[in-house]
Amino acid sequence: MNEALFFHAGCPVCVAAEQQFIHALDPEKYAVEVVHLGEQKDRIVQAERYGVKSVPALVIEGQPFHINFGAALADLK
């Protein structure tokens, strides 16, 4: 099982869409952890280490994918 991380900042407009997106991933391949960076600011460092520049972003096997364009990480600090 590979790790997938979904970083977001709680944008209410996006939550439904993001949920759909996460559920589209192959459950036999990926265990998805959802991280709300607004509530877990200590994990912003982790997101940055993966190359995440904005949220929502999905990290699959260490590779960041920025989805749409939401908030810059710098604005969450």
Site of interaction with a second copy (CB under 8 A): 4, 17, 20-21, 23-30, 60-61, 63, 65-69
Q: Which is nearer to a second copy, 30 or 36 (CB)?
A: 30
CB of 30 to a second copy, least distance (A): 6
- C-beta closer to a second copy: residue 23 or 77: 23
Task: Find the shortest distance in angstroms from Cβ 26 to a second copy.
Answer: 4
72 phi-psi bin (left φ>0, alpha ψ -120 to 50, beta other): beta
